[in-house]
């Protein structure tokens, strides 16, 4: 089989550095550490990137995908808006603030980026079925991408997910299987299925395709830097579920520096969690290097991973960059959703409420520099988590259709 992964030349263990050939592998045989794509980049210029399509494939020379990836049936996510958030900045006392709004992706979350990578890997390995364990957004991204690519889909979710996310995942076809338990229970089940004949020729995007899938999050870093005029932000707030997105944003920034595409300027990365599922925040505040698993209990279900695989790497990055990890309560999440919507017209799902809530908390506690250029991520659309603001699902007033009735109300 001839594999086409562009500049990716192998897999490398993040722990011990052992190298492996490109394949559907995710764990090191020496130390059981996580594997990630390793590259030999050629010459990459700003001009070449800028001449590319207005989606993530403008960065194909930095990703584990074939050179002709833009010509294949794909969801073509990315190049979402970087919103200059002056109103929110003034409300919080931050001089220069931007919101990277990934709700504009095809299935309205950042998961379209990572799934696009996984689809190309699945094609390379001859898989016929795309699968995943999901807290909601990933399920919809996988079923949509599979439909577009002509693949089968079978995805697994906790049975108690938000109804909007379940409906989105089902409308694209494929099979949607609810599992009794938490996301961590779903993830364990999928790991067992990979070793069973039932899972033969299945590509589990966040398990056996994870080294390729995870690289999609780097495109957030690339886009933010390019949209800022080819420079790195001084501060960025990223939500933590598994922690992979945060680690890959850091990897993306470092690659841009190494390739001479941006100036090597310092940046701080802050992780954001919900208080009802905050194992990384708890470890960070306690000064620990080990993340203790928890049982999630939060409205931010897309971040409800009680045993985050990349938690220790998040701690390392937060400390290395001078950032941090913070968490906010469910009430603070809802208040932050409303604050972002009322100041910038951006309706975030609960994960976006987490990042904006943490942004507010970091500013109030002095952990974040209000004079530094700051980017906060919104990774999904608020229409997916309407239950979080169900108390506002009514008109402010109901009147008769007359001016007198309106005057009385005003």
Label residue 289 left, alpha or beta by phi (over 0 means left) and psi (-120 to 50 means alpha).
alpha
Instruction: Check whether 295 has a pLDDT greater than 60.
Output: yes
Q: Within 10 Å of residue 392's Cβ, how many Cβ atoms? A: 11
Instruction: Check whether 316 has a pLDDT greater than 90.
Output: yes
pLDDT at 115: 98
Q: Which CA distances in Å does 77 have to 103, 107, 340?
A: 11, 9, 23
pLDDT at 136: 87
The stretch 123-128 carries a mean pLDDT of: 95
Q: Are 249 and 269 in contact (CB under 8 A)?
A: yes
Name every residue whose Cβ is closer than 8 Å to that of residue 402 and which is 6 or more positions away in sequence. Answer: none
Q: Are 324 and 362 in contact (CB under 8 A)?
A: yes
Among the residue ranges 71-75, 194-198, 203-207, 365-369, the one predicted with the least confidence is: 194-198
The stretch 341-362 carries a mean pLDDT of: 98
Q: Which CA distances in Å does 360 have to 92, 377, 391?
A: 6, 13, 23
Instruction: Check whether 143 has a pLDDT greater than 80.
Output: yes
Q: Are 359 and 386 in contact (CB under 8 A)?
A: no
> 38-52: per-residue pLDDT in tens?
999 999 999 999 999
Instruction: Check whether 405 has a pLDDT greater than 80.
Output: yes
Instruction: Check whether 1 has a pLDDT greater than 60.
Output: no
Instruction: Check whether 407 has a pLDDT greater than 80.
Output: yes
Q: Which CA distances in Å does 92 have to 42, 113, 115, 362?
A: 43, 30, 34, 10
Domains in the chain, ordered, with CATH? 82-108+215-388 (3.40.50.1100)
> 237-282: per-residue pLDDT in tens?
999 999 999 999 999 999 999 999 999 999 999 999 999 999 999 9
> 383-396: per-residue pLDDT in tens?
999 889 887 777 88
Q: Within 10 Å of residue 257's Cβ, how many Cβ atoms? A: 16
| pLDDT above 70 coverage of the chain, percent | 100
pLDDT at 342: 97
Q: Which residue has the higher pLDDT, 20 or 162?
A: 20
pLDDT at 204: 94
């Amino acid at each position: 089989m001839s594999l086409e992964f562009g500049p990716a030349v192998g897999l490398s263990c993040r722990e011990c550095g052992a190298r492996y050939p490109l394949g559907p592998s995710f764990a090191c045989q020496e130390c059981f550490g996580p594997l990630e794509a390793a590259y030999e980049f050629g010459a990459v210029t700003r001009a070449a990137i800028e001449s590319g399509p207005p989606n993530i494939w403008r960065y194909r020379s930095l990703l584990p995908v074939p050179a002709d990836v833009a010509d294949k049936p794909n969801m073509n996510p990315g190049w979402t808006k970087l919103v200059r958030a002056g109103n929110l900045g003034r409300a919080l006392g931050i001089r220069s603030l931007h919101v990277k709004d990934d709700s504009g992706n095809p299935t309205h979350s950042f998961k379209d980026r990572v799934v696009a990578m996984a689809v190309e890997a699945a094609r390379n390995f001859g898989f016929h079925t795309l699968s995943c364990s999901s807290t909601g957004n990933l399920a919809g991204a996988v079923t949509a991408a599979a439909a577009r690519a002509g693949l089968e889909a079978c995805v697994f979710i906790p049975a108690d997910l938000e109804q909007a996310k379940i409906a989105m995942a089902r409308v694209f076809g494929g099979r949607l299987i609810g599992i009794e338990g938490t996301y961590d229970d779903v993830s364990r089940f999928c790991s067992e299925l990979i070793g069973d004949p039932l899972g033969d020729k299945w590509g589990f995007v966040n398990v056996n395709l994870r080294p390729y899938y995870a690289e999609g999050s780097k495109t957030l870093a690339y886009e933010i830097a390019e949209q800022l005029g080819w420079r790195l932000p001084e501060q960025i707030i990223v939500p933590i579920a598994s922690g992979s997105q945060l680690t890959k944003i850091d990897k993306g920034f470092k690659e841009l520096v190494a390739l001479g595409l941006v100036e090597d300027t310092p940046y701080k990365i802050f992780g954001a969690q919900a208080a009802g599922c905050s194992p990384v925040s708890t470890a960070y505040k306690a000064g620990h290097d080990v993340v203790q698993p928890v049982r999630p209990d939060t409205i931010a279900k897309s971040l409800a991973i009680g045993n985050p695989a990349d938690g220790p790497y998040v701690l390392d990055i937060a400390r290395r960059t001078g950032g941090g990890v913070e968490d906010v309560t469910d009430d603070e999440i809802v208040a932050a959703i409303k604050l972002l919507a009322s100041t910038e017209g951006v309706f975030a799902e609960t994960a976006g409420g987490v990042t904006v809530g943490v942004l507010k908390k970091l500013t109030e506690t002095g952990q974040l520099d209000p004079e530094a250029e700051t980017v906060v991520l919104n990774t999904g659309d608020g229409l997916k988590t309407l239950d979080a603001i169900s108390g506002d699902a009514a008109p402010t007033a109901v009147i008769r259709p007359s001016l007198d009735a309106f005057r009385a109300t005003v």
